[in-house]
Amino acid sequence: MTVAPAADRLVAEALAEARSTRPVGPDTPAGPARQRWTGTPVDLAPGDGPLDLGRLLAFSLAARPLRPGGPRSTRLRPVASAGGLHPVNAHLLVGPGCSLPPGRYAYDPLEHRARRRGPAPSQAPAGTVVVLTVTAQRTASHYGHRAWPLLLLDTGHAAAALAMAALAHGHHARLTLDAAADTLTAAAGLPAPGRWSSVWPGTTPEHPLAAVHVTARAPAEPLPCPLTAWGTEPDAAPPAAGPAPSPAGARAGVVLDALCRTAAPATWWRAKAPFTGQEPSLAWAITNRRSAPPPLDGEPRPGDLAAVLAAARDAAPYGPSWCAAVGGPQPGLVTADPSQPETPRRIATGEARPTLAVWAARQTWLATAGAVLLAEGLPDAAPAARIRAEHLAAGYAAACAELTATARGLRTRPVGSWQAADLGAALGGPAGRRWIVHGLAAASRPSHSWSDHR
């Protein structure tokens, strides 16, 4: 991946600030719960074609009603998000073989409808490409200078939600977490990075970060990048008027644009189910996965913890390493061991959870959590492209680990905000080499686990 040195410096400074203990300022308005687009609304009821987009989105990104027949909640969604703010937007690039006619669409998760924004190119690839963007102000409104890493993690969770929903319904999914912002915006029919305000003044900017390509079945041969064909179409319909971001939101947007400034071609890789065997179906796990409220006491059984760690480790072809802090009679850090899949391997001794509670914005309940999975790595000298890819991959891996934990009856809660969390230095190693990127608390089975309903 080739990135301008200036972008590396800008991102390195922003990452040091996000990792610091400097407190966040007062909250600012988050803005609307979703972007409103001016295109023609289209129903997502089942239609012609083997790929049912309504069902795919209902299982992945749709908000759910507070009660039967009632309004949809901005928080009740089947994908985790820091602070329940849900900044991730989905642009559907629909080709042949889908329940919607080919074209560009923006998805509204509260109405569970699509807005048609423009036509499809004549050579549009089969299936749908979902370009994931973020509205930075949603997260910056509460997290300030710490927002942009959380925006990356949230996008990784959303990418996993789409990919796992596709697999749960027998479809094929592949992802890119390193496509250039110029490529993503051109495909989605959005203004190029840095030009949103001049092209669509008076509207709220979005920043593209990743894409997921879903097809009804696995292709017979390797496919070219599906974004290329869509990039030949001009910008599509703009959104309705919306608020400008706060200074913190604008700053987060600048960092995100710098992270995605690359001349390298996009790397695509195939999604795979995070678990197999005797667990319930992936669809069941998706339906029942929720962030559990604290406390999350009760250490998971060794076999369950090993499976969850392995799911995080194996989710993506790259990303940070994963370990877990445990308590009990022998507290310490453990990791998955391919040679002993039922037993985590101990890599450090000593009680780490109280320190983790301080590092995680003083969330004191972590001190007694059953286990705390940790994605760790990203040294101070990491280039911008790696920082982007590994944060996205960490969110993706945490989502896959959550589904595995849910299938085994465990309770989980993602932990995305970490300050001064230099795990390597705390273990006696050199400073600035092994930072905590993401976390996932896990606790032993509640009384209403899946095994009670088999």
Under 8 Å between Cβ of 53 and 59: no
Structure-token match 């509207």, residue found: 203
pLDDT of residue 75: 60
pLDDT score recorded for residue 445: 67
Tokens of residue 25, six digits: 């300022």
Where do runs of H (alpha helix) occur along 111-265? 136-143, 147-168, 181-188, 196-199, 227-230, 247-259
In the numeric block, the tokens 């239609």 are attached to: 47
At 420 the three-state DSSP class reads coil
374-386 pLDDT, tens digit each? 999 999 999 999 9
Q: For the whole model, what pTM was predicted?
A: 0.95
Distances (CA, A) of 219 to 173, 210, 224: 10, 21, 11
Q: What is the pLDDT of residue 66?
A: 62
Say how far apart CA 271 and CA 166 lie, in whole Å: 9
Burial class (CB in 10 A: 0-12, 13-18, 19+), 298: middle
- Amino acid letter for position 152: L
Task: Please list the residues that pair with 210 across neighbouring strands.
Answer: 132
Structure tokens that stand for 59 in this block? 């299982």
- CA-CA distance, 70 to 448, in Å (whole number)? 26
Q: Which residues of the chain have pLDDT under 70?
A: 1-4, 66-76, 445-454
In this predicted structure, what is the pLDDT of residue 449?
A: 39
Residue type, 4: A
Backbone angles phi, psi at 326, to 5 degrees: -125, 160
CA-nearest of 327, 397, 332 to 369 is 327
Sign of the CA dihedral running 102, 105, 108, 111: negative
Domains of the chain: 5-270 (3.40.109), 291-453 (3.40.109.10)
Pairing mode of beta strands 207-215, 172-176: antiparallel
Identify which of 92, 258, 255 has the alpha carbon closest to the alpha carbon of residue 180.
Answer: 258
Contact partners, residue 199, CB within 8 Å, separation at least 6: 191, 235
Q: Write down the pLDDT at residue 64.
A: 82
Residue 299, phi then psi, degrees to nearest 5 = -70, 130
Structure tokens at 282: 């992936």
pLDDT of res. 1: 46
Q: Which residues pair with 377 in a beta bridge?
A: 435
Tell me the C-alpha distance between 175 and 187, whole Å: 15
What is the pLDDT, as a whole number, of residue 6?
85
Element (H, E) at 107: strand 103-108
Q: Are 319 and 394 in contact (CB under 8 A)?
A: yes
Measure the CA–CA gap between 275 and 308, rounded to whole angstroms.
Answer: 9
How many other β-carbons are positioned within 10 Å of the β-carbon of residue 27?
A: 12
